[in-house]
Amino acid sequence: MGSLLLFVILLVLFIISVPIAIALGLASVLYLIIMTDMPLISLPQRLFASLDSFPLMAAPFFILAGKLMEHGGISERLVDFAKSIVGQVKG
């Protein structure tokens, strides 16, 4: 029953042209207000606590490392090095 309510709220928000990110957050908050007795003051605390995790931090730092390597020219040199080692081998 709960997941159906969440889906309906999300669908209604999509129909009235609410942006996706806002609709996901608003649907979650409305679900918490309707279906649970959790105080809303603890919602931001749990949100920021869940964002403080190493797996979530790894993706932006991996992208940053790739961009730094691209702008520094290291990535092109690494690809050239790999081609010089195994460039003649197919597959």
Give domain status of residue 29, yes or no.
yes
pLDDT of 28 reads 87
Residue 41 covered by a domain:
yes
The answer on 81 and 58 residing in a single domain is yes
pTM of the model: 0.51
Looking at the structure, tell me whether residues 45 and 2 fall in a common domain. Answer: yes
Q: Do 57 and 34 fall within a single domain? A: no
Segment 37-59, tens digit of pLDDT: 888 888 888 878 887 788 888 88
Q: Please count the residues of the chain.
A: 91
Q: Which residues does the chain have with pLDDT short of 50?
A: none
Cα→Cα distances 84→23, 87, 90, Å: 51, 5, 13
| 17 and 46 inside one domain | yes
d(CA 75, CA 81): 10
Whether residue 38 is found in the same domain as residue 6:
yes
Which structural domain range is residue 40 located in? 1-50
Q: How many separate domains does the chain show?
A: 2
Q: Are residue 45 and residue 58 in the same domain, yes or no?
A: no
